[in-house]
Structure 1
Amino acid sequence: MHTALKITAFAAALAASFGTAYGVGSSFDPVVDGAPSASHVTSHAKGAAGGGTEGEGGGAPVAGGLQVSENGYTLDLTTPRVAAGQRADLRFTVRDDAGRAVTDYRPEHGRQLHLVLASNDLVTYRHLHPARAVDGTWTTPVELPRAGGYRVLADFAPAAGGGDGVTLGADLAVAGDYAPLEPPAPSRTATVDGYEVRLTGVLRPGAVGELGLTVSRDGRPVTDLEPHLGAYGHLVALRSGDLAQLHVHPNGAPGDGATRPGPRVSFTATAPSAGTYRLFLDFRHGGKVRTAAFTVRAEAPRNAEGAPADSAWTEGHGH
């Protein structure tokens, strides 16, 4: 651990590349703060992730949030800095290419806009659902525990044009005593509030495949998960380094006649590159949403001679 440093708001802005995702909503959603055994991954299903990187296989966008402006829309963050440990209102506006505030959205997973905040070290994470004023200004209360750089990711689908959703990103500086942390080591199991979540499946660069997450409590499978944001689980996947958000799609939905309410929930995901990723799974049980987090490595498969082989999933089922 590095020696703690006193960070001013200006210095925190420079440290934005070390930030952690943090999300707070009008109703508070799950929170992850430096728990090595648990991370949270949420997913927003859409035809394509805005601002994405193209995959090696099908050319579909697989990551978003790398730019503040994309597809004719800009994330105007009017609260670029806050103080660590102090409650503040985070405000922002989505503007079109003419500079007008966007006020008409197409709901996705029951919400007009999903907001993720993550520290750049991916130790702190929040998934929020802010409230929108009639003038287009979005507001959500936040209280971030640690100083440093954070990334704000806004995921939404403008009603105009009826196109795909967009994911925009902006930097947030959090002032205070700064002590950078390393992301938790890769693990296939996460625990939160007495629940154990086990991950199966492997991320491969440029390959589409399945991630499965199985929920148990006190050693027993949880077979009565409750719907949350249109599915039995909501997964967010962020890439270490630039905090790019992967395109993750839930497989099945409550009420479709085929999808069971646990213990296993699955998602289709694509990694845009090799590297380290943090996955954050939100699931609802007993009327409360909890988040389980994982650190995973995406590495290209190799043949018997150790040379890179075709991008493919070695676990789970491809789609």
Structure 2
Amino acid sequence: MTAAPPRPLARGWLLAACVPVLLVLGMAASVPPAPQAPADFPQPATASTPGTAGMAGMAGMAGMSHPADASQALARGLAAEQDGYRLNAVTCSMPAGQPTAFQFIVTGPDGRPVTDFAVHQTRKLHFYAIRSDLTGFQHLHPEMADDGTWTADLAALAPGAWRLYADFIPDTGAHATELVLSRTVTVSGESAPVPLPAPSDSTTVDGYTVTLNARPMAGAHRLTAVISQDGRPVTDLQPYLDSYAHLSAFHEGDQALAHLHPADPVNGDHGGPTLTFQALFAEPGNWRVHLQFRTAGQLHTAELTLHVG
């Protein structure tokens, strides 16, 4: 299903179909008030550390824990709007079981669509989708039309509440700041939550074994990933988004997003077997980790649960 093209924008614009989402997220010109959430949306944990490379979703719901400081919440991407930039969705509901072209627009402090974006990790915008139980991960790089409308071609989504993230840098000059904004959408149908797999330091995907070594504490710590195949170290990783891997992690309970890239220098198709990250997991608890890497032109996504104390 492809949504109809959006009408011209004005300050505070949002299509009538998404007015409920506007109320859910409680967007305002500055700090968002306490929003409401779908009934099956998980409870968020209290934010603790600002500046996470990502966001936490739906914190501040009525009757649930709140970040102690509203500016901290904005810094961690707890709203659909930050610094005057807003993520506007063309629709707030989608069908289950079929690919969907999800359309959205980013408006700037002047209320007009933003069309100038800096290239960030080889792309102008990174788009993530995750269901409330941390299943169904998708990482896309949508296309933007001349009028500022982005279209993310999502693979079929399972029924339930989903959070969709846009990660970008407005091209405003040398001091432009990376922003991560998000919205929730509802996918129609009966939703059956999937339990989060137990924490583990190793997983296998496409014949590759990925082992994480991390200090299991919140805050900035070194994290290493070792990739092997049939017991032999892998040394032919190819560049992906200007590095040898991309790590996305979602926090159980509030869907906080952390995305990391290894610090290892890129030298052609000779990456691995060890990748080193400066990991910043602001909150304790379980994080669902998705490590993406490329070999022989194929992108692999390894998934495991990491417990942070």
- TM-score norm. by structure 2 comes to 0.75
Show the 5 A alignment for 1:227-306. Answer: 227-246=239-258, 248-255=260-267, 261-299=271-309
Give the drift of 1:18: 5.0
Question: In the TM superposition, what whole-angstrom CA distance separates every residue of 1:115-147 from its partner, at most 9, and x where no partner exists?
Answer: 010011012100011000000000021133411
User: In the TM superposition, what is the alpha-carbon distance from 1:152 to its structure 2 partner?
Assistant: 0.5
Deviations along 1:285-308, one digit per CA (max 9) or x if unpaired, are 010101001111111xxxxxxxxx
Q: Given the alignment of the two structures, is residue 103 of structure 1 paired with residue 129 of structure 2, yes or no?
A: no
2:224 aligned with 1:224, yes or no? no
Contact 2:202 2:210 in 1 (8 A): yes
Partner of 2:38: 14
Cα pair distance change 1:274/1:252, threshold 3 Å: same
Cα offset, 1:243, TM superposition = 0.9
Q: How many residues align?
A: 254
Point out which structure has higher relative CO (alpha carbons under 8 A, 6+ apart): 1
Rate the CA distance shift 1:239–1:200 in 2: closer, same or farther, 3 A: same
1:178 alignment partner in structure 2: 191
- Equivalent residues in 2 for 1:185-204, closer than 5 Å: 185-204=198-217
Structure 2 distance, partners of 1:81, 1:65, is 22
Structure 1, unaligned stretches of length 5 or more?
1-8, 20-46, 54-59, 300-319
Instruction: Tell me if the contact between 1:16 and 1:173 (Cα under 8 Å) persists in the aligned partners.
Output: no
Amino acid at match of 2:150: W
Contact 2:132 2:161 in 1 (8 A): yes
More strand by share: 1
Q: Which runs of 4+ in 1 moved over 6 A?
A: 50-53, 60-63
> In 2 relative to 1, CA 275–211 (structure 1 residues): closer, same or farther, beyond 3 Å?
same
Q: Is the 8 A contact 2:210 2:302 kept in 1?
A: yes
Task: Please give the secondary structure, in 2, of the residue aligned with 1:177.
Answer: coil
Aligned-residue CA RMSD (Å): 2.9
1:162-196 alpha-carbon deviations (Å, 9 max, x no partner): 32200001101111221111111111111111111
Alpha carbons of 1:198 and 1:154: their partners in 2 closer, same or farther (altered >3 Å)?
same
Would the alpha carbon gap of residues 137 and 62 (structure 1) be closer, same or farther in structure 2, given more than 3 Å must change?
Answer: closer
**1:123 matched to 2:131:** no
Quote the Cα distance in structure 1 between the aligned partners of 2:131 and 2:55.
20
2: distance between equivalents of 1:106 and 1:188? 35
CA change 1:276–1:50 in 2 (3 A) is: closer
Q: Percent identity?
A: 38
For the Cα contact (< 8 Å) 1:237–1:279, is it kept in 2?
A: yes
Q: Please list the CA deviations of residues 87-121 of structure 1 after superposition, one character each: whole Å capped at 9, or x if unmatched.
A: 22101111112211110011111000000100110
- TM-score under structure 1 length normalisation: 0.73
**Is the Cα contact below 8 Å between 1:120 and 1:150 reproduced in 2?**
yes
Letter of the 2:109 counterpart: D
